[in-house]
Structure 1
Amino acid sequence: MHIIIHPADEVKDQPQVDIVAWSIHGVSFHNENEVVHLLTGFVLDKKWRVTTAIQHFDSDNKRITTNSGRVYNLLGQPGSKDAELELAWQIWKMTNNVSSDVDVTDEYATKIKWFVM
């Protein structure tokens, strides 16, 4: 397995993205007190993505707008953990100096009307 971490395309080139197998994490970074919520999942080009901080959650339309201004359409139900995804997430956290991580996916999923826990 090869894991390559690189920035997403510019927002102006990709202002709206469909994302599947999504999850949401509350993270804090070393030397910062603030906890931000980040969306992770696969965009439809099969690349795993970690977003900038969530700014707005539209539960009726299943959309998340991030700090970058990009809009993510949440498709399907939240993803399940798999070993490769978990490894990629752990590497991303180490690379980005994450000091704490809490999976908050259920807090969002229960607000989506079509999702049944």
Structure 2
Amino acid sequence: MKPAKDIPDSYKSPSLRRWRVMETLSHRGAVKRHVYGHDITNDTARVSTSIKEFDRESMTITTHSGSIYKLLGAPGHSRGGTIAWKVWCSNNDIHAEKDVTREYFDIDKLFSNGSTNDVIPK
């Protein structure tokens, strides 16, 4: 494994599209959240280390390792990202997982003003 100082900056600040946020439970009982998706900066599937902080205004996630992930567009499903996620889970003692993406980006809330009618406010 490369030392952190040898990792290119583009790997420390990836931009993800078709991303998901997952909550995990390890066999040891640790609960953590991670983001995965297609890293368009490096054209590869990515899974983050655990999430430390989320900035809704800039749509960025900072991880405990110090990487800053820019979330582009609406969440989605990346075939490569899903495969990377499954491999990551099997390699990291994950007992259970839960998709919590809607806590980070809810398309229904984006286009809703909270009313029950279909009228879009002017």
TM-score (norm 1): 0.76
Is 1:56 the counterpart of 2:57? The answer is no
Unaligned runs of 5+ in 2: 113-122
- Distance between the aligned counterparts of 1:28 and 1:51, measured in 2? 15
Quote how far apart the aligned CAs of 1:87 are.
4.0
Aligned residue number for residue 99 of structure 2: 103
Quote how far apart the aligned CAs of 1:34 are.
2.5
How many residues of Structure 1 are paired with residues of Structure 2 in the alignment? 107
Aligned residue number for residue 35 of structure 1: 31
Unaligned runs of 5+ in 1: 1-6
Q: Rg bigger for which structure?
A: 2
Matches within 5 A, 1:57-72: 57-72=54-69
- 1:36 counterpart SS class: strand
- Per residue, is there more helix in 1 or in 2? 2
Aligned residue number for residue 93 of structure 1: 89
Rate the CA distance shift 1:55–1:8 in 2: closer, same or farther, 3 A.
Answer: farther
TM-score (norm 2): 0.73
Q: 4+ residue stretches of structure 1 with deviation over 3 A?
A: 7-12, 84-88
